[in-house]
Structure 1
Amino acid sequence: MSGTPTAAASSPGTAGLRTEAGSIRPCEAEQAERPALDAAAARAAMVAQTEEQGVLGPGLVRDALMVLPREVLMPQAYVRRSAPGEKPPRWDLLDWAAPQDRPELVEVLYGGASVLVQHDGEPLLGRARGSRSGAAITSMSTVMSVTAVLLEELDLRPGQRVLDVGTGAGVTAAVACQVCGDQGVVTLDRDRHLTDAAAVRLADLGFRPEVVHGSGEVGCPGRGFDRIFVSYTVERVPTALIEQLAPGGKLLVHVTTASPSWPALAIVERTADGQLQAELRAVEFAHRAGHGMERIFLTEEFRQHITTAPGARTQRSTLALPADTDRGLWLAADHLLGGGLVRDFSAEHLVIGAPGCGSWLRVKPVGHRRWSVITHGPRDIWREIQALATRWRAAGSPDRYRLLFEPDGGQRAVSACGRLSWHLPTPRPLDDGAST
C-alpha cells in the first residue's frame, strides 16, 4: 500500500532538485545562503572523515553521499538535553527553518553520529520545534560509518531494483535513487508517519521511488529485487525477503540474539542459476532491533553491583583472555552459551552479566599474562567462555560462518570446517524498526 501523502509541510527549500543527468544540485538562492554553504562544507568533511576511517572508498556511493543534502531529508532533529540517568529524559527538536537552530543542526546532521528524528511515534510532518520530555526516541538515522559500510557492501549499480526495508529518514533510499535511478527503488516501513515524511522529502530531492507502508518481514510479495537492504536487526533472515531476491541479487541484514553485544551481518546472495549462498559475518556494530524484538540490557544498578561486589569465586588465571577483535568467538558465544549474556563495553576491562539469572564476570590484568577473574551466580561465565574458545580455535578461529537454509525452514550457522554450528531462532511475527 502506498504511503504517498496528500498534503505536507515543506522541507527547507528545494536544495536537491535533480538535473536531467540525475545529479542533485543546489538551487541558486541556497547557494547564496551562508548556512547552505556551511552545510555543504560539513557534508564534505563528513564524507572525508568516513574515507579516513577506511569504510568508504571512491565510487558511486561516495559520490551520492557527497551531493546528498541531509538537511532536506532531516530538516528537524532532536538533541538530548537531559543528563545520563535523568528522569524524565528531555530533548529539544531543532528546526532548519529556524536560523538560530542551523549551526547546531549542521553539527548534528553531519557529525557522523546517529540523528534522532522521531519521538514517541509522532508524525514528522508539521511538527513544532521546541522541547519534549518523557517517552523515548522511536526512530533515528544510523551512524554514518555503519551506513557507509553497508552501502559499499551492497554494491549498488545503475538500473538495479532495490528494496529498502525500514525507510526511517530516507537516507538509504536517497542513495539508492541517486545511484540506481528512482524507478526501480521501493522503500518500505511499518510506520506511516515515516513513509509519509520520506515521500515528501525524497520528492524535494527530485526522487519519486515507490513508498510503501507495510511489514518489513513481508516485503513486497510476488516481486523480485536485485538488492535488498534491511535497516534494523532481526533474529533470523526473513524468509519472505529471501524469496524476493532475484538471481544475481544480494540481501543484507543484521542478525543477533536478544543481547545487543555481539551482532552479525547476514549476507545472502542468489546466483545466476537461482542457488542461495549466505554467510554470517561477525561485526562490531549493528542497527537497532526491529519492532517487537526482545532486548536485554544491563541496568545501571546491575553494572554498579558487578563493579563493587566481591563476587562468589575469585581466581588467578593464565589462560589467554579472548580479545575484543575475536569477534567470531563472541558471535558464537552469543548463540552457544545459552543466551542472555551482555557485555558492558563501558567498563575498562572485561565485564559480562547475565541479567536473567544474576550471574556475572569481572576480569582484569594483574601481571604479565595473568588475570584476576571474579565470578558470581549460578553460571561460571569464565569457564563457559574458555571452553568455547577452545572449540573456536579448533574450528580455525573463524570470523564468519556459512549460513545454511534448511528444507524445513531452519537457518543454521556453521564454520567452514563444520566443527562449530548453531541454529538461528525459529520464526515469529516481527515488524521493522526503521533506522536509516
Structure 2
Amino acid sequence: MIGAEERAAMRGLLRSVNDHLGAPMAPAWESAYWAVPRHAFLPSTVWVGDDLAECSRETAPETWLRHAYADTSVVTQINDGGQETDPDDRWASCSASAPSIVFRMLNMLDVRPGQKVLEIGTGTGWNAGLLAHRLGADRVTTVEVDPVLSADASRRLKGLGLEPQVIGGDGAFGDEAGGPYDRVLATCSVRSVPPAWIAQTRPGGVILLPWESPWFCYGLLRLTVDGHGVASGFFSPHSAFMLMRGQRTDLKIYRDVVRDDHEPVESFTRLAPRSVAGDDWAAQFAIGLQLRRVWRAWHENPDVEGVATRLWLATTDAASWAAVDWDGKSPERFTVWQYGPQSLWDTAEAAYDWWRNAGSPGPERFGLTVTPDGTHTPWLDTPDRFVPQLG
C-alpha cells in the first residue's frame, strides 16, 4: 500500500503538520497517520487550485501524489457529483481537508480510550479511518449524505481492514440509534447547531464543529453539553469548511434579490466597505455573529459608470439589500444604496462599530450557548456578555 515514494511524501507532510501545530503529533495519532495513509482515501481524479483544475493519478501520478501530501485541502467532488461540461461551471462540493486542520481538530476533540465518536460528514473516509484506528472501529460511527461518497468511503476503509459504521443519510439528524456519544465531530460547517447532535451527546461530552455565518465562513466551535441539554463553548480561529448541504443558501443578486422596480435610498458613508467586508477576518467573524441573516458579495469593475468596486449586502430572505460603491478615487467617500425594510449598510456599520468599541476581539474571545429550544446566543468572553443580534 505504501511504496517508497509515498513514504517519503508522508514523512514530508508529517514534518509540515508538526510545524503547523507547533509540537510533534501525539504518538497515538502518528501511529494512525502511518497506518491510514491519506492517498489511499483520495479518488483517482481530484481538482486543485482556485480554478479547480483537474488532476488525474493515471495521467499525472507525481503531481497527484504531490497534492495528496501537501498540507492543503484537495477537492474530491465537484457539482455534487453531477456532470459538468464547462470548466467555468465547476464548484467544489466535497474536499479532503488540509491534514494540519484534521489533526488540530482531532487534538481538540480530546478522545479517550473507550469513548464513542459520531462523525458528521464522512467525505473520503480518512478522518473516520484515523478515529477507527485510534479507538477501534466499533467505537466510531460516521454519517454521509451523498450515497456515492458514502459507498466509496466504506470501500476504502474496508480495504485497510477498518470498518466503522458508515451510515448514509442527512447528518443533521445524527444517529439516534447509536447514541449517546462521548464526542461528536462535524467535518462540514453549520450556521446553526442541529438539535440532534446535542441530544445524542452524553452530559460532559464534546461537540466540535466548523462554523459559518452567511457573512463569513470561518472558525471552529467546541461545545460541552451539560446535564440539561445545554451546549456552550468557545470558538477558535481555525479554517473554513464546506457548508452542510441542508443549510445552503442559493441566492444570486440579480436573479433573486434586485428587481427593476426597486427604488433604493441613496446616502453616503466614510466607512470604507473594505473595513467591513475586507481582509480583516476578526472583523468579519464578529460582524457575522451579529448579522446572522445577512450575506455579502463583491463586484469588481461592475458595468456602472463611475463605480470601480461595489459591495453587495442582502438578507437571506431577499427582502432587503444594499450596495456600497467606490469610485476608485476618493478614499473617504462611498455611495450607499439601500432597499427594503432593513437598512443593511446602516446595520453593518453598527456591527462594525460595536466590534471596534469592544476592542476589536478575535474569534477566540467569542463563544456560543445553544439551549434545548434551539436558541443560539453568541457572547464575548463570558456567557453573560451577549453579542448584539442586529440582523
Q: What is the TM-score normalised by the length of structure 1?
A: 0.68
1:342 corresponds in structure 2 to 296
2:377 corresponds in structure 1 to 412
Distance 2:292 2:337 in 1: 15
2:14 corresponds in structure 1 to 47
Report the residue type matching 2:198 in the other structure: I
- How far 1:258 sits from its partner (Å)? 2.7
2:192 maps to 1:236: yes
Q: Note the 1:379-394 alignment, pairs <5 A.
A: 384-394=347-357
2:38 corresponds in structure 1 to 70
1:295 corresponds in structure 2 to 249
Deviations 1:367-389 (A, max 9, x none): xxx95352432178775445334
From the two aligned structures, give the one with the greater helix fraction: 2
2:247 maps to 1:281: no
- Residue pair 1:411, 1:424 contacting (<8 A) in 2 also: no
Q: Percent identity?
A: 21
- Residue pair 2:299, 2:312 contacting (<8 A) in 1 also: no
Q: Which moved more, 1:414-423 or 1:111-120?
A: 414-423
Distance 1:80 1:413 in 2: 35
Deviations 1:58-92 (A, max 9, x none): 313344334432221124132369x95xxxxx864
Q: Cα RMSD between the aligned structures?
A: 4.1
Distance 1:282 1:324 in 2: 18
Report the residue type matching 1:235 in the other structure: R
Deviations 1:188-212 (A, max 9, x none): 1112211211111111112111111
2:114 corresponds in structure 1 to 159
Distance 1:316 1:412 in 2: 31
Distance 1:189 1:180 in 2: 20
Aligned partner of residue 193 in structure 2, secondary structure: coil
- How far 1:165 sits from its partner (Å)? 1.0
Report the residue type matching 2:85 in the other structure: S
- Residue pair 1:50, 1:145 contacting (<8 A) in 2 also: yes
2:188 maps to 1:226: no
Report the residue type matching 1:69 in the other structure: P
2:152 maps to 1:197: yes
2:291 maps to 1:353: no
Whose relative contact order is higher, 1 or 2, with alpha carbons under 8 Å and at least 6 apart? 1
Structure 2 residue runs of 5 or longer lacking an equivalent are: 255-265, 302-308
Q: Note the 1:10-409 alignment, pairs <5 A.
A: 15=1, 26=2, 36-54=3-21, 57-59=24-26, 60-79=28-47, 84=51, 92=54, 94-95=56-57, 98=58, 100-122=59-81, 133-134=85-86, 136=90, 137-222=92-177, 223-259=179-215, 261-271=216-226, 276-281=230-235, 283=237, 285-295=239-249, 327=282, 329-337=283-291, 339-342=293-296, 352-354=311-313, 359-361=322-324, 372-378=332-338, 384-395=347-358, 397-398=360-361, 399=363, 400-409=365-374
In 2 relative to 1, CA 37–332 (structure 1 residues): closer, same or farther, beyond 3 Å? same
- Residue pair 1:77, 1:115 contacting (<8 A) in 2 also: no
Report the residue type matching 1:175 in the other structure: L
Distance 2:180 2:95 in 1: 28
Distance 1:53 1:345 in 2: 34
- How far 1:151 sits from its partner (Å)? 1.8
Report the residue type matching 1:420 in the other structure: F
- Residue pair 2:321, 2:344 contacting (<8 A) in 1 also: no
- Residue pair 1:235, 1:424 contacting (<8 A) in 2 also: no
Structure 1 residue runs of 5 or longer lacking an equivalent are: 1-14, 16-25, 27-35, 85-89, 124-130, 301-311, 426-436
In 2 relative to 1, CA 157–371 (structure 1 residues): closer, same or farther, beyond 3 Å? farther
Aligned partner of residue 214 in structure 2, secondary structure: coil
2:257 corresponds in structure 1 to none
Q: What is the TM-score normalised by the length of structure 2?
A: 0.75
- Residue pair 1:91, 1:132 contacting (<8 A) in 2 also: no
- How far 1:274 sits from its partner (Å)? 6.4
